[in-house]
Chains A and B, each alone.
Chain A
Amino acid sequence: MGRALMPASGMLSWRRWRSTDGALFVLLGLALVYSYWTYLWLPLTRPSPQDYAQATEYVSSQFQPGDLIDANPSWAARAREYLGDRPLVAWRRLDGEDLTPYSRLWLFSLFGAEARKPVRDGLAGRTDLLEERRFGGIDVRLYRVRDHRPVVYDFRERLERAAVWIEAGTRRHECRIWEGGRWRCGQEAWNCVGREILEVGDEPRLVIWPHPAEWGTLAVEFREVPLGNALAIGAGFTPAGVRKGGLPVNLSLEVEGQPFWNRFYEPRSGFFRDLVGTGPLGGQPRTVTFRVRTSDDRLRHFVFAADVRD
């Protein structure tokens, strides 16, 4: 008798669980399973201080000039405490960054971030894996960068040796005071040409801040520049400049007073790169002049970086 009733009871129970309340109860159950899984998984994947000590000691011992360390994911940058005095970035999008200034790339990854698509895409075809080591919760990989083009002259590093002025018609206002890493071009704090680290295109970047003035053209001139095979130029706006919108900024380049290259930058998010060949001009050191113009200087937080590549 009891046996005979069981299937019917089971069916009743199944129907009960297929009701709205049954579905909601299952939903709550799934949420709880996921919650407990999360709180179990978090400590299991967290690297220990010993993992950090071993991994960073290994990177330090193998580090060479021309190497770059990328802490990955971008927010997990505790590695800075150990390796922060070496070239270290924490790129949000490795696939959008230029690796060629560096000979080798150390990928210092936590939480399996080395396997993420932007990272894989950013490395594929541009690097060769040299070695891989695991230190508990930390994955360290060393890559050789293909098409490495060493930097032979960095304009930002030599900014204090540059001549800076604003010209309007026949007037020329010299920016003669070098103070705190900036050439002062006026009383206002923003009116300067400075060596800065600012967020451009979602990354902090080492850039030159040449705030344009609408009443004239801002010029930054470098003498005795050893022109190699190419000039790498990147430029863009800080988030405040992007938010403000407005008119574009023009960045142009002269070599020995002759127009050489020119680009307009709209105030939108991004760090826009150009690699301009300089082969025919190579050989003798040259005078290189950057000119920045806009017809609207309000919140024109425009910056650029440039270097000469072999």
Chain B
Amino acid sequence: MARAGRSATRLEHLFAAALAAAYLVILLATAWEVGLTRDEGYYFRAADLYLGWFGTLWEGLRGGHLGALRDDVIARHWSYNWEHPALLKTLFGFSWKLFHETLGWTSQSTAYRLPAMLLAAGMIYLVGVFAVEAYGQGVALFSMLALATTPRLFHDAHLACFDVGIATLQLAVVYAYWRGLTSVRWSLLTGIVFGLALATKHNAFFVPAILGAHALLRGGERSEGRGPPGPPAPLVFLAMAVLGPLIFFLHWPYLWHQPLARLGFYLRFHLHHEHYPVEYFGQVLTQPPFPPSFVFVMTWVTVPLATVVLMTVAVFRGLRYELAGAQGSLLTSDSERQDGQRTRLLLLLAGLVPMLVMTLPGVPIFGGVKHWFTAMPTLAILAGAEFDRLARWALGPRRLALRWGRAAYGGLALLTLLPGLLGIRLVHPYGIAFYNELVGSLRGAAELGMQRNFWGYASRGNLAYLNEHVEPAGRVFFPPTNLDSYRAYLRDGLLRGDIQYSATLNAADWATIACEGPLADDEYRVWNDWETGRPVTGVYLDEVPMNLVYRLPRERR
């Protein structure tokens, strides 16, 4: 089915861009109600600091000196949050400067978040272009919509974090590599995009493994002359090996004066990352290794059911064909057996390697499915190809040639993808709580003892109540919403200016408590120390509590 060498037409590019733009508009329109996660607060502060350095640099350039390049000046701005590369945080800062401070178009938080949303929209666009070139328009449309209606990804696409960004960048590298199989220009471009991926998040370190495995497994065909003509395979890896580290080094001033030592800090941080406890079937996982099934089970219960069924069927079908091909017995039913670019193999590797990496025994306990979002774009394309196959099988080629046949194809696609939209409608703006129909949605997940909350973002839903009820200069205990997120709420006017952040329960008059298994002690502490088990309000999704507000009883004030 794959159609090697076919470039998307201008109209197809326009269509993919239009859909991506629509996605961006929806993200922007819904961002204000999505609570700030712990990490975002840190990244906002980092963005400010990094932007400050550019300000110093600009002032220096105007004054004819380069003091901003001194290590002490660099360290003052860039040593904060050195555990992640700086590309996205820098973009967050510039976005804030442009869209909030200069133009005044958005709130502060939305301005910081905008680059991540743009990257999410870019992912939709890239999936469309990749899929249309590899499989055709039907697959492209389905894949884009499948990705856009994945509720957890939709939620994280709002956040000023790196997970959706790196998913986009990984897809961009994979796409550029795929195009580079027949083009020198794209081979060189792969190196540049890989550098940007390295500058986004450390997931990029695993991309060479995906591409290397593809090149090795495809090597036989090239030597037999079956593949399309193109540059020698080493070119793309040479480009990645040279341009990748170079861009990574150049983008991050923190590395400039002490590259090895500071790179060492960065790498060591991730090799010895702290664990984030996570609830999984009633257990709180605190120490690695994860159960080997964790990543796959979590994917199966957090992606809309029909989509994950299609992804799974596509993966098993693809593996069957690839294994048969590797054993030299190409199956006649394999519609992609003539594909010299081995597109399906590349998509399988890009979809499975990020998940397999997360199942390695030494991987820290993280919990969030966002850590393998990098798998989702290519799995969505595979799901699209599988849908296309089944729809064509059901409708038959003759009917598809008719207008009503095409309408039936479209209707079937919408019918398949609509549950994802219903899922988003159910959980938004608390998308991390999404569980699919297989476990009975969020309610079923609560019953099974699955993690439904993370990072303190759900306190956002209680801010209006606090604004209305907290006495002047009242103190609120906000675990685990951090001080940076609290300040961002103040700056955006979402929280009344006089409401104070209390670091401890003892010093507070109010508490917003995240309903999260590993943090359950926060609520028990309220019950115990305040001698009340009665929240005054709460955020509930389908009766599942997400965040509760307690008030210090009158007799204890």
Q: Are A35 and B286 touching (Cβ within 8 A)? A: no
Q: Are A36 and B309 touching (Cβ within 8 A)? A: no
Give 1 or 0 for each of B380-398: 1 = CB within 8 Å of chain A CB. 0000000001100110000
B-side contacts of A78, CB under 8 Å: 538, 540, 543, 545
A-side contacts of B348, CB under 8 Å: none
Which of chain B's residues has its CB closest to A40's CB? Answer: B422
Say how far A106's CB is from chain B's closest CB, in angstroms: 15
Which of chain A's residues has its CB closest to B452's CB? Answer: A75
Known contacts A78-B538, A180-B529: A31-B305 contact under CB 8 Å:
yes
Interface centre among A28, A84, A85, A204 (most CB of B within 10 A): A28
Interface check A81, CB cutoff 8 A: yes
Which of chain A's residues has its CB closest to B447's CB? Answer: A73
Q: Are B535 and A76 touching (Cβ within 8 A)? A: no
Known contacts A81-B538, A204-B527: A28-B310 contact under CB 8 Å:
yes
Interface check B544, CB cutoff 8 A: yes
Interface check A25, CB cutoff 8 A: yes
Q: Are B544 and A39 touching (Cβ within 8 A)? A: no
CA distance A220 to B305 in the complex (A): 56
Q: Are A35 and B545 touching (Cβ within 8 A)? A: no
Q: Are A31 and B309 touching (Cβ within 8 A)? A: yes
A-side contacts of B305, CB under 8 Å: 31-32, 34-35
| Cross-interface CB contact of A24 among B282, B313, B440, cutoff 8 Å | B313
| Cross-interface CB contact of A197 among B419, B506, B528, B542, cutoff 8 Å | B528
Interface check A223, CB cutoff 8 A: no
Q: Are A85 and B524 touching (Cβ within 8 A)? A: no
Q: Are A239 and B310 touching (Cβ within 8 A)? A: no
Among residues 274 to 293 in chain B, which have CB atoms less than 8 Å away from a CB atom of chain A?
282, 284, 286-287
Query: Total interface residues on B, using CB and 8 Å?
Result: 49
A-side contacts of B542, CB under 8 Å: 42, 46
Known contacts A28-B309, A199-B521: A111-B443 contact under CB 8 Å:
yes
Interface check A80, CB cutoff 8 A: yes
Q: Are B534 and A42 touching (Cβ within 8 A)? A: no
CA distance A36 to B542 in the complex (A): 16
Which of chain A's residues has its CB closest to B389's CB? Answer: A21
CA distance A167 to B390 in the complex (A): 76
Interface check A27, CB cutoff 8 A: yes
B-side contacts of A161, CB under 8 Å: none
B-side contacts of A80, CB under 8 Å: 533-535, 548
A-side contacts of B416, CB under 8 Å: 28, 32
Say how far A141's CB is from chain B's closest CB, in angstroms: 19
Q: Are A77 and B309 touching (Cβ within 8 A)? A: no
Interface check A254, CB cutoff 8 A: no
B-side contacts of A104, CB under 8 Å: none
Give 1 or 0 for each of B498-537: 1 = CB within 8 Å of chain A CB. 0000000010000000000000110011011100111111
CA distance A88 to B527 in the complex (A): 11
Which of chain A's residues has its CB closest to B537's CB? Answer: A81
| Cross-interface CB contact of A85 among B310, B313, B520, B532, cutoff 8 Å | B532
CA distance A272 to B32 in the complex (A): 48
Interface check B143, CB cutoff 8 A: no
Say how far B125's CB is from chain A's closest CB, in angstroms: 27
Q: Are B284 and A21 touching (Cβ within 8 A)? A: no
Known contacts A75-B544, A180-B506: A198-B524 contact under CB 8 Å:
yes
Known contacts A35-B437, A78-B540: A42-B528 contact under CB 8 Å:
no
Q: Are A39 and B520 touching (Cβ within 8 A)? A: no
B-side contacts of A111, CB under 8 Å: 443, 543
A-side contacts of B282, CB under 8 Å: 202
Say how far B444's CB is from chain A's closest CB, in angstroms: 9
B-side contacts of A181, CB under 8 Å: 528-529
Q: Are A204 and B313 touching (Cβ within 8 A)? A: no
Which of chain B's residues has its CB closest to A76's CB? Answer: B543
CA distance A181 to B556 in the complex (A): 13
CA distance A80 to B419 in the complex (A): 32
B-side contacts of A34, CB under 8 Å: 305, 437-438
Interface check A227, CB cutoff 8 A: no
Interface check B426, CB cutoff 8 A: yes
CA distance A85 to B287 in the complex (A): 37
Interface check B136, CB cutoff 8 A: no
Say how far A261's CB is from chain B's closest CB, in angstroms: 27
A-side contacts of B524, CB under 8 Å: 196-199, 204
B-side contacts of A42, CB under 8 Å: 426, 441, 443, 542
B-side contacts of A293, CB under 8 Å: none
CA distance A47 to B544 in the complex (A): 12
Q: Are A32 and B527 touching (Cβ within 8 A)? A: no
CA distance A27 to B306 in the complex (A): 9
Interface check A243, CB cutoff 8 A: yes
B-side contacts of A47, CB under 8 Å: 543
Interface check B73, CB cutoff 8 A: no
Interface centre among B313, B447, B535 (most CB of A within 10 A): B447
A-side contacts of B520, CB under 8 Å: 199, 204
Q: Are A239 and B528 touching (Cβ within 8 A)? A: no
Which of chain A's residues has its CB closest to B394's CB? Answer: A25
B-side contacts of A197, CB under 8 Å: 524-525, 527-528
| Cross-interface CB contact of A38 among B437, B536, B545, cutoff 8 Å | B437
A-side contacts of B440, CB under 8 Å: 38
| Cross-interface CB contact of B535 among A21, A24, A39, A84, cutoff 8 Å | A84
Which of chain B's residues has its CB closest to A38's CB? Answer: B437
Give 1 or 0 for each of B223-265: 1 = CB within 8 Å of chain A CB. 0000000000000000000000000000000000000000000
Would you list 11 pairs from A and B whose C-beta atoms are within 8 A, ordered by A residue? A24-B390, A27-B313, A28-B306, A35-B305, A35-B422, A42-B542, A76-B543, A80-B535, A84-B534, A197-B524, A197-B525
Instruction: Please give me the 3 A-B residue pairs with the lowest Cβ-Cβ distance, nearest first.
Output: A84-B534, A35-B419, A75-B446
Residue ranges of B at the interface with A (Cβ–Cβ < 8 Å):
282, 284, 286-287, 304-306, 309-310, 313, 389-390, 393-394, 415-416, 419, 422-423, 426, 436-438, 440-441, 443, 446-447, 506, 520-521, 524-525, 527-529, 532-538, 540, 542-545, 548
Residue ranges of A at the interface with B (Cβ–Cβ < 8 Å):
21-22, 24-25, 27-28, 31-32, 34-36, 38-39, 42, 46-47, 73, 75-78, 80-81, 83-85, 88, 110-111, 180-181, 195-199, 202, 204, 239, 243
